[in-house]
Structure formats: structure tokens, C-alpha cells
Amino acid sequence: MSQKKVWFITGCSTGFGRELANKLIQQQYPVVITARNPESLSELAQGREDQVLALKLDVTDKQQIQKAVSAAQEKFGRIDVLVNNAGIGYFASVEESVEEETRNMFEINFWGLMHATNAVLPLMRKQKSGHIINFSSIGGLTSFPTLGYYHATKYAVEGVSESLAQEVAESGIRVSIIEPSGFRTDWGGRSSVKTQTSIPEYENTVGRMLSGIGQSAGQEAGDPAKAAEALIHIAELDTPPLRLLLGKAAYQAATYKFTNLLSSIEEWKETTINADFPQQS
């Protein structure tokens, strides 16, 4: 086997995960590809058994995660890059959101990511190297109507990833948070759940957003193939970025949010500072 880094990717049936798997296979990387339905991976793995390990994996099942990590280690001897890509969307007003659906989303988007990370960390610490790439979203930095609970999962990913990056740096492990805007990944279609609004007061916000999501599906500006190339690029860097925005809309939304946030912080600076005890001279 080549000396190229060994990748382990969750959620490879469609979208970012599949495109990334495709690119890595084309570039001769050893790669572990996973999906809840392993039959969806057969085309990627067929005839490449020395290079590609295709596994059944539901990220809400800790036992499956551990078995997959063990199988990867047995086949390739190491895991250099973990990509926590598996995730779903959920669309509804905060008030009308169904708790069962939102809890399920947390199990996938947050706890699934954490269970995979914790399963791989002992191996990476032993190697004294590794790169954990966590998929967040521009929705992990700024919020929009209709996506309140989805944002909550991604803000959680942002927070834990930032802490983790500081904790594992001395072990030679790097962490990167990926923050895409709209990409043609079927995120708003098959990979999401929607609860239609029925409260009239939300029609101009949530109702309009739901309508817009349906109309724009398949026409998003983001190119998953270019996103995959960006991930491969940062994984080869000695000092990869902690955060990587992907897509013009992500750049625009983030700069708008933080420009206004900084302005508000400065506007209220005196009130903020005066909340401390007086300093002793």
C-alpha cells in the first residue's frame, strides 16, 4: 500500500461524502467509506478492494462505529484523516418543531460525530498524528429562520471542535471545521425532514423559507467536487485551518455577521467593561 494518508469518511452514500470518496479513490488514497446502506457504496469499492474498505455504519450506533474503526485499523494499520460528514437537516419554526425529530438530528449531527471522534482519538494519540475534519455549516456561525434546531446542532459542533483542537494539539492531532453554504448535495431534499408551518404568524418567515428551499434544490451555487478538492488540500497541510468556509454565500454571510457583531460589541463596550468589580489602583 502507498504511504498516502488513510482516510475514514462517514456518510458516503451521497453528497459531500460520496464526492470526497470519489476524489480520494481517483488519487489513489487508501480510504474507508461508510454508509447506513453499504450497497450504495458497491460501485465505489468494486475492483478496488486493496485500496477501499466499504463498511455499513449508522453513526447513531456506537458499537458499529467501534467495529468500523477496528476494521479500518486491521486493514490499513492506521487512520490519518477522519471526516465526520454524516448529517441531516430539519426545517420548521422553533415553536412548531417536533421534539422527536430534533432529538434524532442531534443524535446524528452531534452525538454521531462525537462517537466517531472518540473512537478514533486513541489511535491518533498513539500515532501522535491525525486530522479530524468535522462538517459544520455556515449555519454553525450564523442563523436563519426555519433552521433553529439545525443551527443548534452545528453550533454545538463548532464549540466542541474548537475545544478539542486545543486539547489534542500537543499530541500532533489537528482539527478543522468545515462551513459550507448551499451546495448541490441534496441536503434540502432526501437528507432532511420538514415540518410545515401552520401558525399564520410564521408564514412570511418560515413558510417563505420552506418554499424557497424547495425551489432552489439542485440549483445551489456550491460545487461538491471543488469542496472535496479543498478538503484534500487542507489535509495535506502541516498547519490546516481550524475553520474553512466553503462557497461565496458562506463568505458573505460570515463577514456580515461578524462585522455587525464587532460593531455591536464596540457600541456596548462601556456597559460590558463596567460589569466588573472596580480595579484596585
Question: Looking at residue 189, what is its pLDDT?
Answer: 59
> CA 120, 125, 126, 130: dihedral to nearest 10 degrees?
70
Instruction: Give the pLDDT band (50/70/90) at residue 220.
Output: confident
Residue 135 has pLDDT above 70, yes or no: yes
Q: What is the average per-residue pLDDT within 16-41?
A: 95
Compute the average pLDDT of residues 48-64.
96
Check if 154 is active-site.
Answer: yes
Which pTM does this prediction carry?
Answer: 0.94
Structural domains in the chain?
Answer: 7-268 (3.40.50.720)
Residue 150 annotated to the active site: yes
- Give me the pLDDT at residue 142, please: 96
Question: Grid coordinates standing for 76?
Answer: 490499513
Q: Is the pLDDT of residue 202 over 70?
A: yes
Task: Name the catalytic one among 13, 136, 176, 181.
Answer: 136
Q: What is the pLDDT of residue 211?
A: 83
pLDDT band of residue 156 (cuts 50, 70, 90) is very high
Neighbours of 217 (CB within 10 A): 16
Residue tagged active-site, from 29, 90, 150, 202: 150
Selection from 41, 42, 39 nearest residue 9 by Cα: 41
Which residue out of 137, 149, 154, 161 is catalytically annotated? 154
Residue 212 confidence (pLDDT): 79
- The pLDDT assigned to 1 comes to 43
